[in-house]
C-alpha cells in the first residue's frame, strides 16, 4: 500500500494564471488567426493538482510562490475556496506566473508558461512545508519549479519517509540518483519519450519506456497516453488502463486531474489499480469542462459522471 488512509498531501509546485484564447484551430508558425473568446482561469500544475485532490476530499497543503499582484490574489483565493491550505505559499516582488494557452475546437491546446514568482521557491520553503505539515504523507512535485528546488525536495522528503510523486513536466533529464528516491513517476507519452529517447507509438512502447524508469529505481511508473489511456509498471507487474470515451471540450489540466485523483485515492489507502481507474474517470470528467481548476470535479460529480457512462469502471 503506497498511502495510508487519512495521510496528508503536500504539493510543492507552480502557481500560474491561465490566459486562454479559444479558436477554431491552432495557428501555424508565423500565422495570425482570429479567436472566438478569451478567458482567465487559476492554474499552474502545482495549483491544479492541489485543487484536484482537495476537491475530492483530501487534506491538501500547497507550497509555492506568487507575486504581489492581482493574479496572486486570485490564485490564493481560488485555492482557499477549494479547501487547500495555503500557509506555505509566499508572495514575492516578481510577477505571478502565467500560462498563455490556445485551445482549438477539438479541445487540443498549446501552452507557453512564464514562471515569474515560481522561480523564487527554494530550500527554506521546502523545509518549512515538510516540517510544518507534521507527518509524512504524499508529496507531489512537478518540473515547473527550479531544478535545484525539486531535487532538494526529493532528497529531504525521502529521508523523512514521504511517498514521493513526480510529474516530470516539462520534461528534463533526471539522474538515476533522483529516480531511485521517487515512489511514483507520472509523465505523459511526450515527456516519457523525451526522457528515455524512445519513440512511443503504442502501449508496448510505453511499457518499455516505463520499465526503463523502473530499472532506474522508480517504484511505480504511470505513463499517460491521452485518449489512449495509460500504462502502469512496477518491478512486479504492468498493466494498461483504457481511457473513458467522452466528447472533449478542453484538455487543459486533464493530466493534473489524473494526478490529483490518483494521489487522493492512494491517500485513502486504495490499491494502485483502483486508483488508476478513478484517476481515469477524473481526467475524462475534466475535459468535458473549460478551464484548468474550474474543470476539476468533486468526488460526487465524478461518481455521478461514471454512473452516467454506458460502460462502468
Catalogue the active-site residues: 256
Helix (H), strand (E) at residue 200? none
Alpha helices in the chain (DSSP H): 45-56, 70-81, 123-133, 147-160, 176-179, 189-196, 203-215, 254-267, 272-286, 299-307
308: number of Cβ within 10 Å: 8
Nearest to 57 by CA among 307, 303, 305: 303
CA distance 2 to 114: 34
Nearest to 167 by CA among 250, 236, 88, 254: 254
**305 preceded by a cis bond (ω within 30 of 0):** no
Q: What is the residue whose three cell numbers read 490556445?
A: 102
3-state secondary structure of 201: coil
Return left, alpha or beta for 278; rule: phi > 0 is left, psi -120 to 50 is alpha, else beta.
alpha
Instruction: Please enumerate, as own/partner, the contacts of 152-161 that have beta carbons within 8 Å and a separation of 24 or more.
Output: 152/123, 152/126, 153/12, 153/126, 154/178, 154/181, 154/182, 155/181, 156/126, 156/127, 156/130, 157/130, 160/130, 160/136, 161/136
Tell me the CA end-to-end span of the chain in Å, nearest whole number: 21
Nearest to 4 by CA among 157, 235, 162: 162
Amino acid at each position: 500500500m503506497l498511502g495510508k488512509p487519512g495521510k496528508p498531501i503536500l504539493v510543492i509546485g507552480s502557481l500560474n494564471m491561465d490566459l486562454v484564447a479559444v479558436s477554431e484551430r491552432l495557428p501555424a508558425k508565423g500565422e495570425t488567426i482570429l479567436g472566438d473568446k478569451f478567458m482567465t482561469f487559476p492554474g499552474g500544475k502545482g495549483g491544479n493538482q492541489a485543487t484536484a485532490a482537495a476537491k475530492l476530499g483530501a487534506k491538501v497543503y500547497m507550497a509555492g510562490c506568487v507575486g504581489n499582484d492581482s493574479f496572486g490574489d486570485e490564485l490564493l483565493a481560488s485555492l482557499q475556496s477549494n479547501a487547500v491550505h495555503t500557509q506555505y505559499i509566499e508572495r514575492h516582488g516578481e510577477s505571478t506566473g502565467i500560462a498563455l494557452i490556445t485551445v482549438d475546437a477539438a479541445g487540443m491546446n498549446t501552452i507557453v508558461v512564464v514562471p515569474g514568482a515560481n522561480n523564487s521557491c527554494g530550500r527554506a520553503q521546502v523545509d518549512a512545508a515538510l516540517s510544518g505539515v507534521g507527518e509524512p504523507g504524499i508529496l507531489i512535485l512537478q518540473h515547473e519549479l527550479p531544478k535545484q528546488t525539486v531535487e532538494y525536495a526529493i532528497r529531504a522528503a525521502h529521508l523523512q519517509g514521504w511517498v514521493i510523486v513526480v510529474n516530470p513536466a516539462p520534461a528534463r533529464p533526471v539522474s538515476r540518483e533522483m529516480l531511485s528516491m521517487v515512489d511514483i513517476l507520472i509523465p505523459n507519452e511526450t515527456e516519457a519519450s523525451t526522457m528515455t529517447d524512445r519513440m512511443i507509438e503504442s502501449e508496448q512502447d510505453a511499457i518499455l519506456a516505463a520499465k526503463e524508469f523502473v530499472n532506474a529505481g522508480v517504484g511505480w511508473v504511470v505513463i499517460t497516453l491521452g485518449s489512449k489511456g495509460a500504462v502502469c509498471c512496477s518491478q512486479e507487474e504492468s498493466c494498461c488502463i483504457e481511457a473513458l470515451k467522452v466528447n472533449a471540450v478542453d484538455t487543459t489540466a486533464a493530466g493534473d486531474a489524473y494526478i490529483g485523483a490518483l494521489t487522493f485515492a492512494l491517500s485513502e489507502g486504495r490499491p494502485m489499480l483502483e486508483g488508476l481507474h478513478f484517476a481515469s474517470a477524473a481526467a475524462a470528467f475534466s475535459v468535458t469542462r473549460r478551464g484548468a481548476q474550474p474543470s476539476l470535479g468533486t468526488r460526487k460529480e465524478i461518481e455521478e459522471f461514471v454512473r452516467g457512462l454506458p460502460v462502468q469502471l
